[in-house]
């Protein structure tokens, strides 16, 4: 953590009051130096300019390095997505080939297949009460808030596929600053509170996060906001801490604005994965399984002369 991060709240407060962005913020800073300090006149304008360029190069180089690292991370993610798409395509082609195979079987094998089918149907009937139990369990889950998280007594949390944000109100009689708080973010746990006091929020996270890409800010002197990047960016969290009540992830509604930021192919892949995840949770066929079934049905319609009653599809 930078030694100057304790001043972030000051600059954030200043930035919120200026409509002109960074140019106006710089204008305010240099106007202050000209009025209240001898920055220009003390050692001369040339030395002041040299000092300015020195600091500009120092922090500019750091910013460019971080931007380059972020670019590399994005390229790696895009590469992984491309590899997943290629693997998924190869898998679908292989499944289609296997699904299209019709194998002749004997009467004895056909009878054995029919016997197993009946046994499977009877077993499903016996296990039917369990589905009722699952339904009751789902009804006991919390409905997600508008940010796909939950509003709890001590904090509110929201999420996208890639990130989790947690807003923790700090109810004291003064505007808190960074020097007043203690925030500890680890791969599988967090601890947040005021110095020399028991943590307001502390516990094990529901899932792992990338610590190097996590951060926190103080909001209007009244709350601490954590921004955590997920390790698994293809999964919805059902809770923030493992002691929290669970939300029903089947009712999660992804923001269209986030999906629209993706290119067409990536967006289609993400939506397909989200659909398949919901289908699996409900015990229903995935998009690939439905596609394979539809292709087989179409093949059977196109070849009515073929007898599939004594055939094993595999």
Would you say 296 and 90 are in contact if contact means Cβ atoms under 8 Å apart? no
| Alpha carbon distance 265, 85 (integer Å) | 9
| Alpha carbon distance 145, 262 (integer Å) | 24
Q: What is the pLDDT of residues 66-91, one digit of tens each?
A: 888 888 888 888 888 888 888 888 88
Structure tokens at 90: 């190869």
pLDDT beyond 70 at 223: yes
What is the reported pLDDT for 311? Answer: 54
- What's the whole-model pTM score? 0.45
| Alpha carbon distance 163, 233 (integer Å) | 8
DSSP assignment, residue 230?
B
What is the reported pLDDT for 222? Answer: 92
What is the reported pLDDT for 94? Answer: 77
Q: Across 34-38, 224-228, 254-258, which has the greatest mean pLDDT?
A: 224-228
What is the reported pLDDT for 299? Answer: 73
DSSP character string of 44-93 = -HHHHHHHHHHHHHHHHHHHHHHHHHHHHHHHHHHHHHHHHHHHHHHHHH
Q: What value does the mean pLDDT take over residues 45-61?
A: 87
Element (H, E) at 154: none
What is the reported pLDDT for 259? Answer: 59
pLDDT beyond 80 at 155: yes
What is the reported pLDDT for 257? Answer: 46
What is the reported pLDDT for 298? Answer: 78
Q: Tell me how crowded residue 252 is: count the other CB atoms within 10 A of its CB.
A: 19
């Amino acid at each position: 953590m930078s030694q100057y991060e304790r001043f972030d709240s000051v600059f954030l407060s200043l930035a919120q009051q200026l409509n002109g962005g960074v140019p106006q913020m710089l204008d305010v800073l240099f106007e202050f130096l000209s009025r209240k300090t001898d920055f220009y006149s003390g050692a001369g304008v040339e030395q002041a300019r040299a000092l300015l360029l020195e600091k500009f190069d120092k922090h500019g180089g750091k910013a460019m390095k971080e931007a380059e690292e972020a670019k590399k991370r994005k390229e790696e993610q895009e590469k992984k997505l491309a590899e997943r798409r290629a693997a998924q395509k190869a898998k679908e082609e292989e499944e289609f080939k296997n699904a299209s195979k019709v194998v002749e079987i004997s009467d004895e094998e056909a009878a054995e297949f029919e016997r197993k089918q009946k046994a499977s149907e009877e077993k499903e009937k016996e296990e039917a009460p369990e589905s009722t139990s699952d339904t009751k369990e789902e009804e006991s889950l919390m409905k997600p808030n508008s940010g796909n998280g939950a509003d709890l007594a001590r904090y509110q949390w929201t999420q996208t596929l890639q990130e989790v944000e947690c807003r923790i109100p700090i109810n004291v009689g003064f505007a808190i600053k960074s020097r007043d708080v203690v925030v500890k973010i680890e791969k599988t746990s967090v601890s947040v509170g005021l110095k020399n006091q028991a943590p307001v929020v502390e516990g094990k996270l529901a899932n792992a996060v990338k610590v190097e890409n996590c951060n926190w800010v103080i909001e209007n002197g009244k709350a601490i906001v954590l921004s955590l990047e997920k390790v698994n960016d293809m999964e919805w969290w059902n809770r923030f801490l493992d002691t929290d009540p669970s939300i029903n992830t089947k009712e999660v509604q992804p923001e269209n604005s986030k999906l629209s930021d993706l290119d067409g192919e990536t967006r289609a892949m993400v939506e397909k994965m989200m659909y398949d995840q919901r289908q699996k949770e409900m015990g229903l066929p995935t998009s690939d399984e439905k596609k394979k079934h539809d292709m087989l049905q179409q093949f059977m319609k196109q070849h009515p002369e073929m007898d599939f009653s004594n055939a094993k599809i595999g």
